[in-house]
Structure 1
């Protein structure tokens, strides 16, 4: 059967449309949106408690590797995260590890180092010449670290910052904090009777009571009879309040400059470098803690108020689209769901790099050590300067008076008579 004139005309029109589309796609100088650089910050995987409360019947000996160690469940969580990252960046990263493309840094803690290693095992299985043992689908990949005492990037909150400690103490006295804490007053006063932990600071309750109970419940230990579902809910909420009060509630911008803003500044620095050189690394991986993830997200004002779960991952991607660079952020906090897009306040999800830099500028410091000095020390130093200046002025005035008297004062001139 021959096609009618109308059908032939439609086919010709369709062909012309396709040709026009193809010519647009293939036109020189018109490039698709291109991923240029990625930063990943993730929390370690499932672990044993770091410490526990005095009345806990479950002691450290109940955990095969002791306190604070990555469990096989945690290893699996990070291996799965590595598999997801391999799929996400299949065309962006080399199939096997290339040191020119990737840099990995971890806090100097067993569980974060091991999490990074488990992650990399899935992200970069050996291929081709990288296969060194045909019976082992794994290759060693360096994970860099520095001693905890020298870590000024990932081990948040930074301890050696007197001004931040001062801000913490001031936060506890604010009306906003007391308002949030008030519903839990009776519960907090009752807690020492059951747990044996006498401290009432929220960070201590989080680390010494809630965290060990959470770990024990996750690993199917039998919990004490006083630990009801309501108890766990209250402990979780107090732990979340601890993070909020640590990084926010009061003078959040200043706190951010001393904590999560340090990491935000480092990420921005690397993104800028990636725009200047085609040889810049493609992937920067940071292995940290829940306080690292929450600290960064609080600084960027994208924190959802919930404790970051094991193997949660904050993703920052740099794109080039039609000659313009933009930044996109995502948060992967559950394995069964695609990462949630995050939007920096004041910008769109796909935020122009220069706008991103402008918005994060208030949380980035060029003199962290200087800003960490307490106001009391600053006031004392100012007073010392004022006193020193006043002393110099007094001495100068006295010296001037003395000089004037020497030159012109009659008491200092003696008359001699001549007797011939």
Structure 2
């Protein structure tokens, strides 16, 4: 119930922030909510909306229930290409991850924590635990801790701190460390592209749109992927009920600007985020220019491993095979030459014609 309460409080905070902008009562033309097809994200959206739109007057379909149904849209998990990260299948992204595993930062981090990871593996019984999988241990322990459950004896405060640091590093591995911009084009840039298009559409004053809010209920990895694409990530795991806000303003001269805010602590106002290369109140056109490099033009095409890479790998493979074959031929010829060059061996003939005892 902690998460439900946090989302309900977030909904109330959004109601206070946008009072006068959003209608006091729910109007379906003003808001569209999209969630991943996961129970927890769907429930989060519903709890949030309960705080954002508490029913009153004719909206009360039952005087004993201070709640009204509001639609939350989703797609099957198999069709999700917007909010669940990392997106896949994407061969080029997997290739970048392989390169990341060989980066100095990743290798050094593994060496520094090797004994610690072995200890965690022994205590949990999880085989082959790594920087990429240790997050599941921290998540489980954190949930147990949040719900006041007793933790195993080996889980000290120092262990929890270290596990959290490794989980944060795991998120950096997914979307950064090596070639962040290209990773962003294949991951968070997909969602950012969707947001950019909606901001541009909303700035079209001739369209006479009624839609005021687009809300997404997703995951911590969704938030990290988006913020890494924007280059505003703080390298700390997003806590429950975190919220990244994009706000579009029309200035006195008729031009539009974008402001971003991040709420990562219940009970506190969201703080401003500034995209590198612009001020906090960033002109829409400048915002689009700065984010262009991390937005894919054709995601499926960019996910393919280029033919030049395939050709290089094939050439290297053939060269290696050819070298091995040449060495085997040389070795075989050397052996045959030595056999042919040896003098005839002696034959044992001493017993010929002799009688056996």
Q: TM-score range by the shorter chain?
A: 0.7 to 0.9
Q: 1:295 maps to what in 2?
A: 225
Is it true that 1:77 corresponds to 2:77 in the alignment? no
Q: 1:286 maps to what in 2?
A: 216
Q: 1:354 maps to what in 2?
A: 285
In the aligned structure 1, how far is the partner of 2:194 from the partner of 2:39?
A: 24
1:177 counterpart (102, 106, 112) = 106
In the aligned structure 2, how far is the partner of 1:217 from the partner of 1:275?
A: 45
After superposition, residues 31-42 of structure 1 pair within 5 angstroms as none
Is it true that 1:112 corresponds to 2:38 in the alignment? no
Contiguous gaps of at least 5 residues in structure 1: 1-71, 384-420
Q: Deviations over 1:339-381 (max 9, x none)?
A: 1100000000010000000000001112111111124696359
Change (3 A) 1:100 1:309: same
C-alpha displacement of 1:136:
2.0
Of structures 1 and 2, the one scoring higher in RCO (CA 8 A, sep 6+) is 1
Query: Does the 8 Å contact 1:294/1:303 carry over to 2?
Result: yes
Q: TM-score, normalised by structure 2?
A: 0.84
Query: Does the 8 Å contact 2:273/2:280 carry over to 1?
Result: yes
**Greater mean alpha carbon deviation, residues 181-190 or residues 273-282:** 181-190
2:200 counterpart (249, 262, 272) = 272
1:370 counterpart (301, 309, 314) = 301
C-alpha displacement of 1:222:
1.3
In the aligned structure 2, how far is the partner of 1:227 from the partner of 1:196?
A: 14
After superposition, residues 7-406 of structure 1 pair within 5 angstroms as 72-207=1-136, 209-276=137-204, 277-322=207-252, 323-375=254-306, 379=310
C-alpha displacement of 1:245:
1.0
In the aligned structure 1, how far is the partner of 2:242 from the partner of 2:55?
A: 25
Give the RMSD, CA atoms, in angstroms: 1.9
Query: Does the 8 Å contact 2:175/2:228 carry over to 1?
Result: yes
C-alpha displacement of 1:200:
2.7
C-alpha displacement of 1:96:
1.2
Contiguous gaps of at least 5 residues in structure 2: 315-357
Q: TM-score, normalised by structure 1?
A: 0.71
In the aligned structure 2, how far is the partner of 1:313 from the partner of 1:203?
A: 25
Query: Does the 8 Å contact 1:274/1:280 carry over to 2?
Result: no
In the aligned structure 1, how far is the partner of 2:61 from the partner of 2:212?
A: 25
In the aligned structure 1, how far is the partner of 2:66 from the partner of 2:74?
A: 25
